[in-house]
A and B are shown apart, each in its own frame.
Chain A
Amino acid sequence: MTELSYRDALNLALKEEMDRDPEIMILGEEVAFYQGTYKVTRGLYAQYGENRVKDTPISEEMIVGAAIGAAMSGLRPIAEIMTINFTLLAMDQIVNHAAKIHYMFGGQVKIPLVIRTPQGAGNQLGAQHSQHLEAYFFHCPGIRVVAPSSPADAKGLLKSAIRDDNPVLFIEDQNLYNTKGEVPYYDYIVPLGIANIVKTGDDITIISYSKSIQDCLKAAKILENYDINAEIIDLRCLNPLDTTSIFQSVKKTGLAIIVNEAWKTGSVASEISSLITENCFEYLEAPVLRICAQDVPMPYNKVLEKASLPDIETIVDSVLDMLKIEKTKKT
């Protein structure tokens, strides 16, 4: 084990995989000469050269399309889209092409493609640079969606995503890049579709992913002051979704809340809520609760921005409310 930032863990995964397989190459805006907008690809251009680490023009549709073509003809491309907001410019290639090709051509060709892209809010970047768009992709069959919450998972999941034969949207949280954690230095793999029970508990199940996991852990610490022992599930992957872990936990605790930083309407939280209701209804002691961002475009103002996002306090308050416990100074 060694302590690495989320950014460096991703960088290490890219290096290890590129060393292992010469068919892996990277393309995207500012990935080579500039060494990555968020420096995830730092040093790779120098190490692997311009054939394997390619700067592209600002042409998101082209970046993903070219990566699909490359994947269809023997390479294993990793495309970086600078932020998830720009994936909308590549939506035709992602949804109409990458997600369909294996299916509509009767399984004749695989698309081993990873699209790495960061998302995140809370930095006063305004309405067009603060979106959480995982639900758009989660909705579409044919594309895997991965969202790691820790440096170790960042490494292990990225390596799995690269080795997967399907298109994978790999969502990094830009607010996590500097967070540190222990990362195995060996060939560490986290399989896609296995959730991580980051904290065990019996009283309530809190389901989340990506950066919100940290908020959930802090909220759980506060809830201990009220003798509430929460179980926290880090989904790691939204597709494939580990419903087994979700249902097992909810059947044990009888209470479930789902936390995500995306808009509430049509969110991943909404879908998981439905799944729990359909599959665990007789175990539920209260309605499933979604804790999500407000359904508004992100305002620039700091106070308004904060008010639009779920935080530790919202999680604590919601759990106390659910359990009909009065909030005291313990928080």
Chain B
Amino acid sequence: MSKINNFLEEQELIELYKKMVLIRKFEEKCSQMYLRGSISGFTHLYIGEEAIAVGTVSALFDKDYIVSAYRDHGHALAKGSSSSKVMAELFGKSTGLCQGFGGSMHLFDAKKRFMGGYAIVGGGIPIAVGIGMSINYKDEDLVCVCFFGDGAVNEGAFHEGLNLAKLWNLPVLFVCENNYYGMGTSVNRASSVEKIYKRACSYDIPSLAINGMDVIEVRRTVDSTVKKIRRGSGPHFIEMQTYRYRAHSMADPDRYRTPEEETIWKERDPIEHYARCLITEGIIDTYELSKINEYINNEINEAVKFAENSPEPSIDLLHEYVYAE
């Protein structure tokens, strides 16, 4: 765990903890709600990977863009979307972020510049590159962060996207969340190059691999990388090594990983480690941590209540959004 003293203001350090706990508890609640039948469809949980979304997004401006894939709840919450509206979307309710038209895999929050969850592997990458093109076109001081998994690096869209981003020197940060499995297939069974960060090297994109279980390491790396991008140094690539504690989706029986492997990763839990670090360095005590946990439990319970009490979208809206008027 990186030393955290003198890195950020105390309040910011605590905020990182809060956001990670929010995502963890939100996802645990989703799991319950899915098993209860309140959430349907494919639901991909972010548990174990929280440090990536939180560390990365905390280094951005509000006006910066992020693009996600189908494991997108954590990214939306990290970017500031309301937990109630995200939960309501998973419930398919009219008060959801996308009024119930999107669901778990298709969150979107225009106001927060959360530019969408896309459920075709690699599909968000060309879109993020296009947003980068737009930023340069308008000569803005912004970046677009594109999150995707280790599975996406074997898609054509990934290679077309990285090539164009570098060719046009676009302000895009590619964040590969390497959780070592594309659904049930491990990286070493899917990629000829085992170290994923090397994939970006063939496009001359500065690239490195970091510990994605350490929110401070993520934050530090993204901070310095995003500064370089804002200064016009073009796209960068960061492989963030992590682990999803749960199966690929709620529908996945998860029979391809060993309990030993899971234990090794869980011992590096991003939230527990960070909490210990905050306590050791005297930034927070156990009482304050428990208050935060309590506060977030309340927020999640409120989100569920909000979702449960919200109406279904009107059938009159079935055709409403097919075309923009």
Contacts and interface: CB of A to CB of B under 8 A. Distances in A.
Nearest to B323: A166
Interface in A74-111: 74-75, 77, 92-93, 96-97, 101-111
B235 interface: no
B323 A68 contact: no
A107 B134 contact: no
A92 B161 CA distance: 14
Interface string A96-134: 110001111111111100000000000000000000000
Contact of A105 (B65, B98, B129): B98
A297 to B, nearest CB: 24
Given A57-B164, A69-B133, A105-B101, A92 B322 contact: no
B118 A97 contact: yes
B261 interface: no
A51 B168 CA distance: 10
- Most central of A67, A75, A105, A142 by chain B CB within 10 Å: A105
Nearest to A98: B127
A165 B144 CA distance: 23
B133 A92 contact: no
A283 B108 CA distance: 49
Given A51-B137, A72-B131, A102 B323 contact: yes
A69 B126 contact: yes
A72 B164 contact: no
Interface stretch (A58-66, A225-233, A302-310, A320-328): A58-66
Interface in B49-96: 65, 67, 96
A107 B126 contact: no
Nearest to B138: A74
B216 to A, nearest CB: 31
B321 interface: yes
B126 A108 contact: no
A103 B101 contact: yes
A65 B130 contact: yes
Please tell me the size bucket of the interface on B.
35 or more
A310 to B, nearest CB: 31
A92 B102 CA distance: 18
Given A104-B98, A109-B108, A142-B323, A92 B163 contact: no
25 contacts: A25-B137, A56-B164, A59-B164, A61-B156, A61-B157, A62-B129, A68-B130, A69-B127, A69-B144, A70-B131, A70-B134, A71-B130, A72-B131, A73-B65, A74-B138, A77-B130, A101-B116, A102-B323, A107-B99, A108-B108, A108-B110, A109-B108, A142-B323, A144-B323, A165-B324
Contact of A62 (B65, B161, B324): B161
A96 B120 contact: yes
A65 B161 contact: yes
A53 B152 CA distance: 30
Given A105-B116, A106-B102, A108-B108, A75 B134 contact: yes
A141 interface: yes
Contacts of B98: 104-106, 108
List 8 tightest A-B contacts by C-beta distance, closest first.
Answer: A65-B126, A69-B130, A66-B130, A62-B160, A106-B98, A105-B108, A106-B99, A59-B160
A64 B160 CA distance: 11
A103 B320 CA distance: 8
Interface of B: 65, 67, 96-102, 106, 108-110, 115-116, 118, 120, 123, 125-135, 137-138, 144, 156-157, 160-161, 163-164, 167-168, 320-325
- Most central of B116, B130, B324 by chain A CB within 10 Å: B130
- Interface SS majority for chain A: mixed
Given A57-B160, A62-B161, A105-B110, 7 more contacts: A69-B130, A70-B133, A73-B115, A75-B134, A105-B102, A106-B98, A165-B324
A61 B126 CA distance: 8
Contacts of A54: 168
Contacts of B100: 106
Contacts of B156: 61
Given A57-B163, A72-B130, A92 B120 contact: yes
B137 A110 contact: no
B89 to A, nearest CB: 9
Contacts of A71: 130
B20 to A, nearest CB: 26
Given A65-B125, A68-B126, A93-B126, A105 B131 contact: no
Contacts of B320: 107
B258 to A, nearest CB: 34
A57 B108 contact: no
B163 A166 contact: no
Contact of B131 (A64, A69, A110): A69
Contacts of B123: 65, 92-93, 96-97
Contacts of A65: 123, 125-127, 129-130, 157, 160-161
A62 B161 CA distance: 6
Nearest to B161: A62
Contacts of B163: 57, 59, 62
A263 to B, nearest CB: 26
Contacts of B167: 57
Contacts of B131: 69-70, 72-73
B164 A102 contact: no
A109 B65 CA distance: 14
Contacts of A27: 133
